[in-house]
C-alpha cells in the first residue's frame, strides 16, 4: 500500500509531532509527513520538523481578518502539499465548520482525556478535582465541536496518589506518544473508517483500546 501523505498542524512544542516523526521513520509505516504547519512563528515544534528534514510553513492567524480567511489559507497549503490526512498535534486554533467539513474523516486530533470526559482546557486539573482514578487520551476524527468526533483509539493511565496536574499530564503525554502513531496507522491503512458517526476497525466497532501503565493498587 502506498504511503498516505500527512500534514501536521501545531502551535507549540510539538511533542506529539515528534512521536509521529519517529513512527514515520520506519519505512513500513503507512504514512509520511509531507508538511508541518504552525500558526505560531516561534513554535518549538517547527525546529523538530526542520531537524527531521521536513517541509515547514507558518500560517500566522494574526495576519488574517477572521477565522474563515485563516482557514482558507490553511486549506490552500494543505491542498498544495497534496495532503491525504491532517493531524492536529497541539494545534490551539478553533477551526470553522467549513474547513472541518472539507477534511471530514481525514483530520485527526489528540486530546489528553478519556473523551467524552473533560474536553477543553485544564483537563488534568479538572480530572483531579473530580477525583477520577483513571485518566488517558483520545485520538478522534475532527468535527466542528471542539474535542468531539468519532473515537479512533483511547489509552488509559491510572491517577496516582499525590498526583498534580503536571505529574498527571506527564503520564498521559507518554501515553499520547504511543497512541497517536497507532491511531494514525489505523486511519492511514483504511482499517479505521467511520460508519454512523462511530469508528469501525477491521469491520468491528470499538476495536482499538490500549491500557498502557500498570494499575497502582
Name the residues annotated as catalytic: 111
Residue 192 near a copy of itself by CB under 8 A:
no
Q: Cell numbers 515547514 correspond to what residue?
A: 56
Q: How many binding residues for a copy of itself (CB under 8 A)?
A: 40
Say whether 39 sits in a helix, a strand or coil: coil
Determine the Cα–Cα distance for residues 117 and 52; give it in Å rounded to an integer: 35
Closest by CA position to 5, among listed 63, 98, 84: 84
DSSP assignment of 69-107: HHHHHHHHHHHHTT-SEEEESS--S---HHHHHHTTTTE
Q: Which is nearer to a copy of itself, 7 or 151 (CB)?
A: 151
Give the DSSP H/E element, type plus range, for residue 162.
Answer: none
Q: Which of residues 131-150 bind a copy of itself (CB under 8 A)?
A: 131-134, 136, 150
CB of 123 to a copy of itself, least distance (A): 13
Nearest distance in Å: CB 200, a copy of itself? 9
Do β-strands 151-158 and 209-211 pair in parallel, antiparallel, or remain unpaired? parallel
Using CB under 8 A, which residues numbered 35 to 54 contact a copy of itself? none
Closest Cα partner for 113 from 126, 100, 95, 104? 126
Mask for 110-129, x = binds a copy of itself (CB under 8 A): ----xxxx----------xx
Q: Does 14 bind a copy of itself (CB under 8 A)?
A: no
Nearer to a copy of itself, 14 or 149 (CB): 149
Interface with a copy of itself (CB under 8 A):
114-117, 128-134, 136, 150-151, 153-154, 156, 158-163, 197-199, 201-202, 204-211, 214-217
Amino acid at each position: 500500500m502506498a504511503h498516505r501523505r500527512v500534514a501536521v498542524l501545531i502551535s507549540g512544542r510539538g511533542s506529539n509531532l515528534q512521536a509521529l516523526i519517529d513512527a514515520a521513520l520506519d519505512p513500513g509505516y503507512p504514512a509520511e509527513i509531507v508538511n508541518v504547519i504552525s500558526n505560531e512563528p516561534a513554535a518549538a515544534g517547527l525546529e523538530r520538523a526542520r531537524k527531521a528534514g521536513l517541509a515547514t510553513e507558518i500560517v500566522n492567524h494574526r495576519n488574517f481578518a477572521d477565522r474563515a480567511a485563516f482557514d482558507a489559507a490553511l486549506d490552500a497549503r494543505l491542498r498544495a502539499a497534496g495532503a491525504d490526512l491532517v493531524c492536529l498535534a497541539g494545534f490551539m486554533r478553533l477551526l470553522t465548520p467549513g474547513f472541518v467539513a472539507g477534511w471530514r474523516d481525514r483530520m485527526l486530533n489528540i486530546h489528553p482525556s478519556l473523551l467524552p470526559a473533560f474536553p477543553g482546557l485544564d483537563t488534568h486539573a479538572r480530572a483531579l478535582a473530580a477525583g477520577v482514578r483513571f485518566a488517558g487520551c483520545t485520538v478522534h476524527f475532527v468535527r466542528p465541536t471542539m474535542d468531539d468526533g468519532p473515537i479512533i483509539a483511547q489509552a488509559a493511565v491510572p491517577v496516582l496518589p499525590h498526583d498534580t496536574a503536571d505529574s498527571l499530564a506527564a503520564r498521559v503525554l507518554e501515553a499520547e506518544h504511543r497512541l497517536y502513531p497507532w491511531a494514525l496507522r489505523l486511519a492511514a491503512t483504511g482499517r479505521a473508517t467511520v460508519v454512523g458517526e462511530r469508528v469501525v476497525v477491521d469491520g468491528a466497532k470499538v476495536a482499538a483500546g490500549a491500557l498502557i501503565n500498570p494499575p497502582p493498587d
